[in-house]
Structure 1
Amino acid sequence: MAIIEQLPAEIIKELLVVDVFFDAKKITAVLDETKNKWKSAVFFQDKISAFRYCRGRKYNSVFLDSDVGFRNNIDLIALKLHSPQTILAVYEEGLGTYRNDLYRGLKKKILPALGIGVYFGGNWLTQKLYLYSPDEYKKKIGKETCELVRIETPIPELIKNNEALIDRLFEIYALKSQIISRRDVSNESCDIYLSGWNIDSKVVDSFPAIDSFRILKPHPHIKKIPERIWSQFEIVVSPSVPAEMLITVASFLFAEVRVLHHGSSVMRYVNIENVKFRCVA
């Protein structure tokens, strides 16, 4: 959404959503209904179908969440063969965007020689990389193989500018009301667990038993949560709710918010005085 806001308004934009996260189809429907700054939103069962659609549409530009790896390389080659004029751009996807250790050993040496990306923005067909910290990228990656474009709108400002849409997508006001209704007056602090791709039972069992309001925020890719886990938290938030939204809401309701995570990139984008992060990875 931040990238859409800095593109020229006259450009026709279409959102392509792949079913790789919780409630993806429902979120796509809301995005398509709003048609705020885009023409439409289209849902796909898998990434292959989305790329096939792109080949037929022959867009001027396609923005991707990743260009890393062999599978992406095949899809990008096919797209460019069908639509040579399409500019391929990658956008920031958390901490991984700034990592130069996604591949190791022989693969890290051989794949780039074949044009295959071993870091974000490293594929031979990628022309632009949109990110918040171009200088950090240059320092950590050590090279530039495409044009780096700074994302101009900070996350807090983006949330503020799109408050109504965000509430429609993730029911943030309802979440706030739910927390208030279940909160005991003695709960001055809140512990939030941002799970990884799997919910770590050891982390769950380590949570304070009293005097803290406990919230589980499952990873967006988790679609089923064991019943035993539910009983250990006051609230289990929908995996589709962005962690940034949840943490911001909690920061207004509690004197102290402690966030346990497995190396989540959320702490890059949330800087609130009463919120403390602790990595349990």
Structure 2
Amino acid sequence: MIVSNKYSADCEQCFGLCCVALPYAKSSDFAFNKDGGTPCRNLQTDYRCGVHKNLRNKGFRGCTVYECFGAGQMISQVTYNGKDWRENPTLAKEMFDVFPIMQQLYEMLYYLNEALSNDDTQPIHKDLKHMVAETERLTMQDPKFLLELHVPTHRAFVNGLLLQTSELVRAKVKNNKEKNKQNKVLKGKDLIGANLRGASLIGDNLRGVLFIASDLRDADMRMTDLIGADFRDADLSGANLTGSIFLTQAQVNSANGDSNTKLPSTLNIPNHWLK
């Protein structure tokens, strides 16, 4: 599967929106508190992060697991036509308020395009293409329209197609697992700190599962639906996630693993896994 780079952050084309618009609290993920609409003290005048290469070591692990899916450059270069918030302070608050809305739309586009790239979704390709076109249309609207957009309503339509995608992709594997009485749908389950080493989860619906700090070493997670699954501090060493769907680089970055972890071809082994 090939997911377009159009739906990943291009920080060179963005005015550091995630470093300003979003709030965060001092924790294991962030070294200090920051209010929404306030620039991070690490943000430089050129809109680049002064500690980007050392975010984890400097206490900003949370920054390494955030993904705007391309919303930042869209707002910076298209919605506001290259007008930045420093030179145009009257636009700043509006720009920061539009950013999370655009981020949600671009996240949906990321998932929809992944669904389209999968051969198993041929039966719903027409519907997927229509939803991509409609979502892209929304991203091209002006700030006033976007601020009034009821995102949950549109997300519900998108999610219906993503659920169909999940069923189509996992169908063959699910049929092969019918004899396994222990196979359960884990959607929405709390598996924080669970010992799942070597578990056979192939073809399972793992949407929204909390795998925080779980032991998933050598687990078989092929052809699973991983949309929204929380892998913070989970150990994926040796796990096989090939063929899994709706897994993002941000989710992978939040986990631990090693060079033996098998990921979908569109994702990369994070640098901190190799140290």
TM-score by length of 1: 0.28
Determine which structure has the larger strand proportion and give its number.
1
User: Which protein, 1 or 2, shows the higher relative CO under an 8 Å CA cutoff with sep ≥ 6?
Assistant: 1
TM-score by length of 2: 0.29
